Amino acid sequence: MKIFCIGRNYSEHAKELGNAVPENPVVFSKPDTALLKNGEDFYLPSFSNDVHHEIELVIRINKVGKNIQEKFARNYFSEVGIGVDFTARDLQAQLKTKGLPWELAKGFDGSAPIGEFLPIADLDLSNINFGLKKNGAWVQQGNTKDMIFSFDKIISFISQYFTLKVGDLIYTGTPAGVGPVAIGDKLEGFMEEKSMLNFEVK
């Protein structure tokens, strides 16, 4: 399976990192070894002193597709869940300065915790509240109405380049409020009022 992520999909977050709002989705990927399931602990990697949380809604693809038109994108996923796109911000800054790919800063082991999913039949996709609590306090809160690129647009765009297969995941971008995590932090991801992801930083 493949894991895609969208960068800079909420303008307030693009601004907080000093990035321009993109014309097309910024796409990168993580290997399957990045996944962290069932509330497993996240171990801070030794190569970074500034690992940031990015809470994101995640689409799970349920049908093979290539060159999917935006108007048919809804036929290719039936669930939306929540995950964290951990980012070694210090390493990413170094790589960006040199014009190098982000893989090392974004795709390392455990950098993609994934929680529960909800059926899209139960959701208004253009108005989903989601967020992240760190040690019981809100650090990130977003709503899909503020996405620059919708789920349908993202699926259509990615599928022009990559065949989407059943089980592929797409992390759809983070709202403002990203920040560092430390050993002992407890992270909890929410969709609406529902706690859907819960794990500890070690």
Nearer to Zn ion, 29 or 174 (CB): 174
Nearer to Zn ion, 28 or 78 (CB): 28
- Phi-psi category of residue 14: left, alpha or beta, with phi > 0 → left and psi -120 to 50 → alpha: alpha
- 3-state DSSP of the chain: CCEEEEECCEHHHHHHCCCCCCCCCEEEEECHHHEECCCCCECCCCCCCCEEECEEEEEEECCCECCCCHHHHHHHEEEEEEEECCEEHHHHHHHHHHCCCCHHHHCCCCCEEEEEEEEHHHCCCCCCEEEEEECCEEEEEEEHHHECCCHHHHHHHHCCCCCECCCCEEECCCCCCCEECCCCCEEEEEECCEEEEEEEEC
CB of 169 to Zn ion, least distance (A): 13
Q: Which residue of this chain has its Cβ atom nearest to Zn ion in the complex?
A: 85
| Minimum CB distance to Zn ion, residue 132 (Å) | 12
Query: Which residues of the chain form contacts with Zn ion (CB under 5 A)?
Result: 54, 85, 174
Q: Whole-number minimum distance, CB 173 to Zn ion, in Å? A: 6
Closest CA to 68 of 170, 142, 145, 143: 170
Which is nearer to Zn ion, 54 or 188 (by Cβ)?
A: 54
Count Cα neighbours of 152 within 13 Å in the Cβ-side half-sphere: 10
CB of 129 to Zn ion, least distance (A): 18
Which is nearer to Zn ion, 156 or 172 (by Cβ)?
172
CB 172 to Zn ion: min, Å: 9
The residue (of 28 and 70) whose beta carbon lies closer to Zn ion is 28
**Shortest spacing between CB 171 and Zn ion, in angstroms:** 6
Residue number with CB closer to Zn ion (156 or 174): 174
